[in-house]
Amino acid sequence: MDAKTERKERETAPAEEARAESRSDQRQRPPGDEKRVENGRGDEQAQDTQANDSAPDGNRPGLIKRHPYIAAIVAILILLVIAAVVIWWINARQYEWTDDAFIDARTVTVGAEIAGRITDVAVTDNQPVEAGAVLLRIDDSDYQASLKQAQAGVVAARADIANVQAQTEAQNAKIDAAEKQVAQAQAALEFARSEDQRNRELLAKGTATQQQAQQAASTLRQDQASLDAANANAEAAKSQVAVLQAQGKSAEAKLRQAEAAENQAKTTLTRTTITAPVAGHATNITAAKGTYAQPGQVLMMFVPNNVWVKANFKETQLDLMRPGQPVDIAIDAYPEKTFHGHVDSVQAGSGTAFSLLPAENATGNFVKVVQRVPVKIVFDQPPGVYLGPGMSVVPTVKVR
């Protein structure tokens, strides 16, 4: 007989004894009490059934006592989970992170500054180039001719200046000659005055004739006229110098104008060759050989190698964020690598404040929304991998 059969017999034995006692009591009781006995029998059977149902559970040991090792393991696991949650929470308080971040750079729009036909496109799409490398060339034949014309204008202006200088030197020589003529006329006039005075005295004494006195007076008047003419000639020569000086200033102005035109022509000529402003990658190239370029036309885009992370943190995350704090940077394109950087600066204003259509909160149906504030994060070392604007990033800033 197995244990299950024994347990069943033990459970049913009290019920059988109770029924036997009930039958003996029924035989001994009077007939009027049979109904009460039957009612009592039903109650006793219900109690017996309830006792039979509850007896095994009351005698059965608890789950923890029946499986102590499993209970201990479960308790240890619960404690470990609680400890891990506490440690994670303490550690997570030291960091702020966001997935609303991307690689940013100051992309350069490469366009034509002059009009002309494109003769050469020296780069192809996404080609890395160094600073100063040639990107494309525009036909420079017209601009070469303009430069030569400007250079000829400079030569002509310098020749005009030299001519004026030569005329000025010649005029100075004429002035010297005129001044010498004035001195000569002055000496002749003084001699004529002496002769006229002497003849007048001799005529008064009667030792000179009237003709001699008249001749001396005539010579005096002629010499006076010669002196006046010499003075006028000298003044005219000196006034001509002022004219030559004005012509010299005009020639110098024309020279400066010609030199400016030459410099402009040289600058325009250099713009026929478009070079890379910094090291980076040429991308989105729309220029093609033979295309006629117009001033201001976009020919390609240029992405510099210098990139950084623009992370849009919630304004509630900025309480402890400061420039210089270390940052771990996870880039979606390189999941197996972790890059290191630091906070460079926090924008003075939310992103929506500088958008094309900034939010206007002065309305009756205003709903408060947590704003995003751009934070600039720079790499401590060059990443060493290709990174372009718009690539997804998850930065984690250690704020404590």
Residue 313 binned pLDDT confidence (cut-offs 50, 70, 90): very high
The two three-digit tokens of residue 331, written as one number: 């880039």
What pLDDT, on a 0 to 100 scale, did the predictor assign at position 42? Answer: 47
What pLDDT, on a 0 to 100 scale, did the predictor assign at position 51? Answer: 44
Q: Which of 204, 199, 238, 205 minimizes the C-alpha distance to 220?
A: 199
What pLDDT, on a 0 to 100 scale, did the predictor assign at position 180? Answer: 72
User: Please, is 115 exposed, middle or buried when counting C-beta atoms within 10 Å of its C-beta (0-12, 13-18, 19+)?
Assistant: middle
Residue 247 has pLDDT above 60, yes or no: yes
Question: How many other C-beta atoms can be found within 10 angstroms of the C-beta atom of residue 105?
Answer: 17
Q: What is the mean pLDDT of residues 215-231?
A: 71
Q: What is the mean pLDDT of residues 247-256?
A: 87
With pLDDT > 70 as the criterion, what percentage of the chain qualifies? 74
What pLDDT, on a 0 to 100 scale, did the predictor assign at position 43? Answer: 47
What pLDDT, on a 0 to 100 scale, did the predictor assign at position 181? Answer: 73
With pLDDT > 90 as the criterion, what percentage of the chain qualifies? 33
pLDDT tens-digit map of 24-37: 444 444 444 444 44
What pLDDT, on a 0 to 100 scale, did the predictor assign at position 309? Answer: 95
Same fold, 97-106+302-398 and 109-138+272-298: no
Residue 12 binned pLDDT confidence (cut-offs 50, 70, 90): low
pLDDT tens-digit map of 80-117: 888 888 777 776 678 888 999 999 999 989 999 999 99
- CATH code: domain 109-138+272-298 is 2.40.50.100
Domain chopping of the chain, boundaries: 3-59, 61-93, 97-106+302-398, 109-138+272-298, 141-270
What pLDDT, on a 0 to 100 scale, did the predictor assign at position 44? Answer: 47
Fold held by 97-106+302-398: Elongation Factor Tu (Ef-tu); domain 3 (2.40.30)
* CATH class assigned to 141-270: mainly alpha
